[in-house]
Amino acid sequence: MRKTLLIAAVCLMGTAVFAQSGTGFGIKAGLSYNKNGDLIGDIGDAGQNITEGAEGKAGYHFGFWGKLDFPKIYLRPELVYTRTKSTYDVEGQSSDYDVSKLDLPVLLGYKVIGPLHIFAGPAFQYTLSNDLEGVEIEDVENDFTVGLNIGAGVNLGKLGLDVRYERGFSENEAEFISNNFADIEDGRVDSRPSQIIFAVSLKL
């Protein structure tokens, strides 16, 4: 009886692992903890600069993925809408910086053992909008940028769970005129992301 149950459990686990393996496509969504780059402002007529690092906040994403599966590796492109938020606290005044973008990660994965896999690849990013609370801000310098995704995941039936780190390769600044910070006349803020992303995917 125990032997029969053990064989059944192994078969069930094998079926579950296989369910999201193989070439296919699906949907995904998740949450992130995000920080953008520095805010740099000019103070008064002295030409001095103030530099303020971002405080991280929660963001979210949702989108689609496809997969080309091979014996030990796979190729997985994704198309994802991402909304990130971070906060700058300058001279006791806090402002949220919101960025909306389309991400196109192209991931190369390696199947480690069973349902466990690791992956990495470039993420091509198109900025849709950026907004710094209480500030008149221009569009970012470059609409198109490139970053890096690296992470690990597991497949549980048609469900996939993964965690990854994303980092933008280069600065992508937007200039602003301050109506919020008392002593800062104008400045710039770096929209380059640095975030940890938690995602759930479903194979259709």
Q: What is the pLDDT of residue 57?
A: 85
pLDDT single digits (tens) 42-91: 665 555 566 677 778 899 999 999 999 998 999 999 999 999 988 887 66
What is the rounded average pLDDT of the residues 107-121? 96
CATH number of 2-203: 2.40.160.20
pLDDT single digits (tens) 146-167: 999 999 999 998 999 999 999 9
| Lowest-confidence segment of 40-44, 80-84, 95-99, 120-124 by average pLDDT | 40-44
The type of residue at 99 is V
3-state secondary structure at position 85: strand
pLDDT single digits (tens) 176-192: 776 665 556 677 888 88
- pTM of the predicted model, to two decimals? 0.80
Q: Which residues contact 56 (CB under 8 A, 6 or more apart)?
A: 33, 34, 35, 86, 195
CB 53 within 8 A of CB 89: no
Q: Is pLDDT above 80 for 201? A: yes
Between 61 and 2, the more confident residue is 61
Q: Is pLDDT above 60 for 172? A: yes
Q: What is the pLDDT of residue 87?
A: 86
Q: Is pLDDT above 50 for 15? A: no
| Lowest-confidence segment of 119-123, 126-130, 138-142, 184-188 by average pLDDT | 184-188
The 3-class SS string of 92-132 reads CEEEEEEEEEEEEEEEEEEEEECCEEEEEEEEEEEEEEEEE
Dihedral angle computed from the Cα positions of residues 147, 165, 17 and 200, in that order, rounded to the nearest 10 degrees: -90
- Burial degree of 170 (CB within 10 A; 0-12, 13-18, 19+): exposed
Domain ranges of the chain: 2-203
